[in-house]
């Protein structure tokens, strides 16, 4: 058998937008917090491909098996690989799959199996190329595919979609940590193997008040380079959760003097910089502890594994905020939001 579309295939990618577009031509979908994946089925062969056109099959054997077990013998789906843990998506557990040891991958696939959430179809269940058809037709074909083929509560799920912009706004504001935002797609356009204005991503803006538990000097000179952020847990321990480095150059000398006057160990009384972490760098142990007196508000994208996944954006100082009010609960409370898939 031969698919009309074979890997490697570049996926359709979204441009960033600040606001949700409105109009009858737009379809809205959740932006899942996972790995983008194109899934190819051609007879007995199943291939999973990443957004960067790299093979993913060896890391997700349970998805390969699930796709191979479906009745149609030819199709290509576009979707997102996620790992659900107790009703939420765990990016940390997803990252653990990228491991050199097959035995480790097999173990994780049994203990914490992944899902493929499908949101587009490029080759239908009859082996026909549909990528050149408008999204409105492709979505109808995908929904029909899901009704006829996908087992209920199986490893391959259909991603929800809506034409209602108010529903999309609810997803952005209420859906919690399982979503990275919302994707808006032009229903009139075919699948485009590039970044396109016909597909827009609107990210959710999140902020948190954090204690400045320490700082690092810049790589050159003796001026502050980044602030180390902390949040208190239920036991009253201050845990290191990330950093922010967006400090104006003009403000660095005065801020450095202020921070140096507040130097006082231990800085963090719970988890501290330099501990075991996939984010650790050579400079992880080079930091100055501070008395927990300063509070900043930062903007961030994700909080996973007990810390901000990426660097945060410094929004403002909060001299009005009691450091003891800066608790982990403010970033953990939304993790109990529904997954939106069944």
Positions annotated as catalytic residues are 31
**Separation CA 8–CA 306 (nearest Å):** 35
262 contacts: CB under 8 Å, gap ≥ 6: 290, 291, 293, 294
Cβ contacts of residue 287 below 8 Å, gap of 6+?
A: 214, 215, 216, 228, 267, 273, 274
Distance (Å, whole) CA 68 – CA 228? 47
At residue 3, the 3 state secondary structure works out as: coil
CA 174, CA 310: separation in Å to the nearest integer?
Answer: 22
CA dist 176 and 316 (Å) reads 24
Cα 124 to Cα 196: distance, rounded to the nearest angstrom? 23
Whole-number Cα distances in Å, 201 to 30, 42, 149: 10, 31, 29
Other C-beta atoms within 10 Å of 342: how many? 9
Q: How far apart are CA 72 and CA 3, in angstroms?
A: 13
C-alpha pair distances (Å), 221 with each of 34, 224, 260: 39, 9, 14
**Which of 13, 12, 70 is closest to 40 using CA atoms?**
70
* 28 burial via Cβ count (<10 Å: 0-12, 13-18, 19+): buried
**Assigned token pair, 310:** 């990426």
Q: Are 122 and 6 in contact (CB under 8 A)?
A: no
Task: For strands 35-42 and 307-308, give the pairing.
Answer: unpaired
């Amino acid at each position: 058998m031969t698919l009309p579309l074979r890997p490697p295939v570049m996926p359709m990618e979204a441009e960033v937008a600040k606001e949700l577009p409105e109009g009858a031509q737009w379809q809205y979908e959740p932006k899942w917090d996972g790995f983008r994946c194109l899934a190819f089925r051609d007879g007995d062969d199943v291939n999973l491909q990443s957004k960067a056109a790299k093979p993913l099959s060896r890391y997700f054997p349970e998805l390969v098996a699930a796709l191979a077990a479906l009745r149609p013998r030819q199709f290509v789906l576009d979707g997102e690989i996620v790992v659900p843990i107790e009703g939420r998506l765990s990016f940390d557990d997803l990252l653990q799959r990228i491991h050199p040891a097959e035995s480790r991958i097999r173990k994780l696939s049994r203990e914490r199996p992944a899902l493929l959430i499908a949101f587009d179809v490029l080759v239908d269940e009859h082996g026909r190329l549909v990528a050149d058809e408008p999204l409105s037709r492709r979505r109808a074909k995908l929904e029909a595919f899901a009704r006829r083929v996908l087992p209920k509560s199986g490893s391959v799920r259909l991603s929800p979609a809506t034409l209602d912009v108010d529903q999309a706004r609810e997803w952005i504001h209420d859906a919690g940590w399982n979503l990275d935002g919302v994707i808006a797609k032009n229903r009139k356009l075919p699948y485009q193997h590039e970044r396109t204005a016909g597909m827009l991503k609107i990210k959710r803006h999140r902020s948190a008040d954090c204690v400045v538990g320490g700082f690092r000097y810049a790589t050159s000179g003796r001026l502050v380079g980044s602030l180390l952020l902390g949040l208190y847990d239920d036991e009253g321990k201050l845990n290191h959760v990330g950093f922010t480095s967006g400090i104006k150059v003009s403000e660095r000398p005065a801020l450095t003097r202020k921070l140096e006057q507040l130097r006082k160990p231990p800085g963090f009384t719970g988890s501290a910089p330099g501990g075991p972490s996939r984010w650790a760098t050579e400079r992880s142990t080079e930091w100055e502890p501070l008395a927990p007196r300063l509070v900043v508000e930062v903007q961030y994208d994700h909080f996973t594994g007990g810390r901000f996944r990426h660097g945060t954006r410094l929004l403002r100082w909060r001299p009005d905020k009691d450091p003891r009010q800066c608790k982990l609960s403010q970033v953990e409370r939304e993790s109990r939001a529904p997954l939106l898939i069944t």
